[in-house]
Amino acid sequence: MATAMVIGIGGVGSVIGLKLHEYECFDRILLADIDPAFAEKLRERTKSSRFEVHQVDALQTQKLIDLLKDSKVTVTLNACTWQTNHSVLEACAQAGSHYIDMAADIYSPPGVKRPGKNSFEAEIERFNHAFLAKGLAGILCMGMDPGAVNVFARWAMDRLDTATSIRVLDADNGEVKGYRFAVLFSPETLFEELGAVPYYVNNGKVTAGKPLETEVDWVRFPDPIGLMKTYAVAHEEGVSLGTYPPFVEKGVNYSVFKYSLSDKVYHIAKSLAYLDLDTWKKVKTDGVEVAPIRVACANLPKPAQLGATVMDGYSCVGTEVRGTKERKRVEYFVYTMDNHREVYEKYGYSLTEVQTGIPPALTARLLVEGKIKERGVMMPEALDPEPLMDNFSREGLKIFVEKREVERM
May I ask the CATH architecture of the domain 2-143+357-389? 3-Layer(aba) Sandwich (3.40)
More confident residue, 370 or 406: 370
Region 397-404: what's the mean pLDDT? 97
Per-position DSSP letters for 377-391, written without gaps between them: EE-GGGS-HHHHHHH
Q: Above 70 in pLDDT, residue 109?
A: no
For residue 108, the model assigns a pLDDT of 55
- Respond yes or no on whether the N-terminal peptide bond of residue 146 is cis (omega within 30° of 0): yes
pLDDT band, residue 112 (cuts 50/70/90): very low
pLDDT band, residue 115 (cuts 50/70/90): very low
Average pLDDT of the chain? Answer: 92
Helical H segments across 281-371, by residue range: 292-297, 340-347, 351-368
d(CA 332, CA 324): 10
Question: How many residues does the structure list for the chain?
Answer: 409
For residue 220, the model assigns a pLDDT of 96
Beta-carbon contacts of residue 270 (< 8 Å; ≥ 6 apart): 212
Q: Exposed/middle/buried for 77, CB within 10 Å: 0-12, 13-18, 19+?
A: buried
Q: Above 60 in pLDDT, residue 118?
A: no
Helical H segments across 298-339, by residue range: none
> Would strands 314-325 and 162-172 be described as parallel, antiparallel, or unpaired?
antiparallel
Lowest-confidence region among 184-188, 216-220, 368-372: 184-188
For residue 84, the model assigns a pLDDT of 93
For residue 114, the model assigns a pLDDT of 44
Q: Above 60 in pLDDT, residue 107?
A: no
d(CA 67, CA 329): 53
d(CA 343, CA 354): 8
* Nearest one of 3, 98, 121, 23 to 362, comparing CA atoms: 23
Other beta carbons within 10 Å of 175: 14
pLDDT band, residue 226 (cuts 50/70/90): very high
Give, as one character, the DSSP assignment of residue 147. B
Q: Above 50 in pLDDT, residue 110?
A: no
pLDDT band, residue 196 (cuts 50/70/90): confident
Region 48-62: what's the mean pLDDT? 96
Whole-structure pTM value:
0.93
* Nearest one of 152, 147, 150 to 333, comparing CA atoms: 152
For residue 280, the model assigns a pLDDT of 84
More confident residue, 53 or 304: 53
Give the CA radius of gyration of the chain: 20
Other beta carbons within 10 Å of 92: 28
d(CA 283, CA 281): 7
Q: Over the stretch 124-173, which tens digit does the pLDDT of each residue have? A: 999 999 999 999 999 999 999 999 999 999 999 999 999 999 999 999 99
Per-position DSSP letters for 40-55, written without gaps between them: HHHHHHHT-TTEEEEE
Burial 322-346 (b: 16+ CB within 10 A, else e): bbbeeeebbbbbbbbbbbbbebbee
More confident residue, 311 or 380: 380
Q: Above 50 in pLDDT, residue 113?
A: no
* Nearest one of 307, 300, 380 to 349, comparing CA atoms: 307
Q: Over the stretch 5-47, which tens digit does the pLDDT of each residue have? A: 999 998 899 999 999 999 999 999 999 999 999 999 999 988 8
* Nearest one of 316, 171, 159, 153 to 236, comparing CA atoms: 153
CB-CB contact of 192 with 103 (8 Å): no
pLDDT band, residue 310 (cuts 50/70/90): low
Lowest-confidence region among 190-194, 328-332, 390-394: 190-194
Region 360-387: what's the mean pLDDT? 98
Q: Above 90 in pLDDT, residue 394?
A: yes
Region 110-119: what's the mean pLDDT? 48
Q: Above 90 in pLDDT, residue 333?
A: yes
Q: Measured at the alpha carbon of residue 89, what is the angle toward residues 382 and 357, in degrees to the nearest 5?
A: 65
Q: Over the stretch 254-308, which tens digit does the pLDDT of each residue have? A: 999 999 999 999 999 999 999 999 888 899 999 999 999 999 999 998 776 776 6
Q: Over the stretch 74-104, which tens digit does the pLDDT of each residue have? A: 999 999 988 899 999 999 999 999 999 999 9
Q: Above 90 in pLDDT, residue 184?
A: no
Q: What pairs with residue 52 in β-bridges?
A: 30
CATH superfamily for domain 148-349+396-408: Dihydrodipicolinate Reductase; domain 2 (3.30.360.10)
For residue 304, the model assigns a pLDDT of 66
Lowest-confidence region among 2-6, 270-274, 363-367: 270-274
Region 189-200: what's the mean pLDDT? 89
Domain boundaries, the chain: 2-143+357-389, 148-349+396-408
For residue 16, the model assigns a pLDDT of 98
Q: Above 60 in pLDDT, residue 73?
A: yes
